[in-house]
Amino acid sequence: MGDNSKITAAVLASGGGSNAENILRHARTRAGGVEIPLVICDKAGAPVIGRAEKLGADCKVIERTGTKAEHEAAIIAALEEYGIEWIFLAGYMAILSPAFVALYKNRIVNIHPSLLPQFPGKDGYGDAFRAGVITSGVTLHYVDAGVDTGPVIAQKTFPREEGDTLETFRARGMQLEYELYREFIDSLAKRAAA
């Protein structure tokens, strides 16, 4: 793993990439600790690709062709090429296989847009909003072999406010997603420095 004073991570993303951008910016503005040289995206043309490149990270587009095992083997090869120890999922829309999760046990982190265990799955904000919750939230958690079931690292809550649309509700939650990842990166950097 090379230099023990820094941690090397990759971001896996499929879409817009606002979390990826937040993660890259935060890691870059810190005085060392966590380095993120690589973003992997499984969707050609996704906005996250340009965002990552603007921030100086390499972005590899590894599309889902062939079997899941072949796709994951290509991802693992890229991770190994860059000496990646930690994986930050940021709107990555594929489910990782148990074999992949075992390879990076307790070193894969995901941001989920609900207060898990409530509203797992693809549309946390939409599901929470339509259910009429008064308080919602976001969860940073380790990834295990289940879907949105791994050990919780931290959660933050936010209120549904009068007049909220799904868009305003989501926007409030997204700010907390960014905070959770920034705080986690800070704690990893401290760990590396210890």
Which amino acids are annotated catalytic? 112
For 147, counting Cβ atoms within 10 Å of its Cβ (0-12 exposed, 13-18 middle, 19+ buried), the class is middle
Task: Answer yes or no whether residue 18 interacts with ligand GRF by CB under 6 A.
Answer: yes
- CA dist., res. 37 & res. 59, Å (int): 9
Question: Is there binding between residue 33 and ligand GRF (CB under 6 A)?
Answer: no
111 SS3 class:
strand
Cβ closest to ligand GRF, residue 75 vs residue 128: 128
Using CB under 6 A as the binding rule, whether residue 113 contacts ligand GRF is answered as yes
> 3-state class of 45 per DSSP?
coil
Q: In the stretch 72-111, what mask flags binding to ligand GRF with x, by CB under 6 A?
A: ------------------xx-------------------x
With CB under 6 A as the contact rule, the residue among 8, 11, 17, 72 that binds ligand GRF is: 17
The DSSP letter of residue 9 is: E
Q: What is the dihedral angle through the alpha carbons of 173, 175, 177, 183, rounded to the nearest 10 degrees?
A: -140
Member of 19, 38, 181, 185 binding ligand GRF (CB under 6 A): 19
Q: Are 3 and 81 in contact (CB under 8 A)?
A: no
Q: Which is nearer to ligand GRF, 33 or 91 (CB)?
A: 91
For ligand GRF, which is the closer residue by CB, 81 or 123? 123
Restricted to residues 121-150, the positions that interact with ligand GRF (CB under 6 A) are: none
